[in-house]
Amino acid sequence: MALAIKKGFIRSENRGIGLELMHTESEILIKALLTLQSKGIVALPIHDCVVVSEDDQEVACKAMLDAFREVSGQNGKVDVKPL
């Protein structure tokens, strides 16, 4: 998940939005990690992503998208990048 904040977006009445977005991001990541753990998949969280073996890539993508949808109510996008 990637979040972009445009310059000038955070005004005095929106000061808490950054903390709210960080909390939302952590909820999504925790849900995805718990899903992967329940399936016996080892996943290493790094910032806003998870590192899994190539064999578990599809399951991890689905877990991230499902968690994103459950928390945000929106469809997300997952980018896969080799390490």
Please report which helix (H) or strand (E) contains residue 50, including its range. Answer: strand 49-51
Span 28-64, pLDDT tens digits: 999 999 999 999 999 999 988 999 999 999 999 999 9
pTM of the model: 0.79
For residue 18, pLDDT beyond 90: no
Distance CA 72, CA 3 (A): 13
Whole-number pLDDT of residue 55: 95
Whole-number pLDDT of residue 83: 83
Return the DSSP state at 44: E
